[in-house]
Amino acid sequence: MIQLVSYRSSLSRSKRVECTIDILNRASEPFVMFSGHTLFEPEDIFSIESKLTNKHVTALLEVRHIKSSSFLNNANCLFLVRNGKVHNMFSQQLFATSGEIKNNTDLAERLLLELEQRRKFEIEGKKCLIFQCGEINILSNIQSDHNRVIFRFSENLVLHKRFQNLLDDTDIILNPIHTPMGNQGKMQKRREFLSSDNRYYFSCSNTRPHNRQKQIKEGTLQHRLQYAYKNSLPISSFKSEITKDYHIQHF
């Protein structure tokens, strides 16, 4: 159903383009999600589209930098590959840390609007919703209650209702990430929360700089870079491919 692709963090711009084209053209699943910063520049998108021979795959990509006045900060912009074309989703990451979103109801409302209007699409009848990297900090953990997860602005009934409506109307949560997140105890609880009520949750990250070989040696690469959950439980891949440049898992 889905392929998750994690790149080596130090992979060059040109090599990312080359690998992305190759992975898309030989994709055996209908949907591919790449880790954050899939590509570095908007010109790379045109290279992908011009060399795409697999017209049946749908894929989620992120471009690290866009030079355009139509974006707020011109960074971490989403693109969707579909029917042999690359479509600009005109959406970008709004925040990265809990400190940025804490007590900021305006930013929370902006994210909800982005989720409602620009971050949804369907693949094979399944409704997908995209959170970019640290945007899952729209959730908060109650540490005194076994890290129970809540919507960060749950006291705001209007925002809370909008967020819950989004979850209720979603089959698959997609979370492309730039580098592995810390505090995995809290992150695990958030993955369980987002994948509850028969939803899926998928995330994939680039490797940490200078740490990939150690991760492979310790056998932890899969669990640090890619996560797959359904009904609050992890699910296992049925196929994987590891090269010096990337790690792919099929679910």
Report the alpha-carbon angle 186-188-192, nearest 5: 120
pLDDT at 42: 85
Mind listing the pLDDT tens digit for each residue in 233-247?
999 999 999 999 999
Tell me the per-residue pLDDT of 39-61, one tens digit each, with 9 for 90 and over. 998 889 888 999 999 999 999 99
Per-residue confidence (pLDDT) for residue 108, from 0 to 100: 97
> Which pLDDT does position 211 carry in this prediction?
52
Query: Would the pLDDT of 218 be above 50?
Result: no
User: Rounded distance, CA 55 to CA 25, Å?
Assistant: 8
Lowest mean pLDDT among 85-89, 99-103, 203-207, 221-225: 221-225
Query: If phi over 0 gives left and psi between -120 and 50 gives alpha, with beta otherwise, what is residue 236?
Result: beta
Whether residue 221 is predicted with pLDDT greater than 90 in this model: the reply is no
Percent of the chain whose predicted confidence (pLDDT) is above 90? 83
Position 226 pLDDT exceeds 80 = yes
The answer, yes or no, to whether residue 13 has pLDDT greater than 90, is: yes
- For residue 219, the model assigns a pLDDT of 42
Size of the chain in residues: 251
* Backbone φ, ψ for residue 124 (5° rounding): 50, 45
Task: Express as a percent the part of the chain with pLDDT over 70.
Answer: 91
Q: Mind listing the pLDDT tens digit for each residue in 119-149?
A: 999 999 999 999 999 999 999 999 999 999 9
Higher pLDDT, 206 or 211: 206
For residues 5 and 204, the answer to whether their CB atoms sit within 8 Å is yes
Single pTM value for the model: 0.91
Q: Give me the pLDDT at residue 46, please.
A: 85
pLDDT of residue 148: 96
What are 34's two structure tokens? 């790449």
pLDDT at 162 over 70: yes
First to last CA, the chain: 6
Tell me the pLDDT of the chain averaged across its residues.
Answer: 91
Q: What is the mean pLDDT of residues 62-89?
A: 81
Domains of the chain: 2-250 (3.60.110.10)
What pLDDT is attached to residue 139? 97
In contact, 102 and 95? CB cutoff 8 Å: no
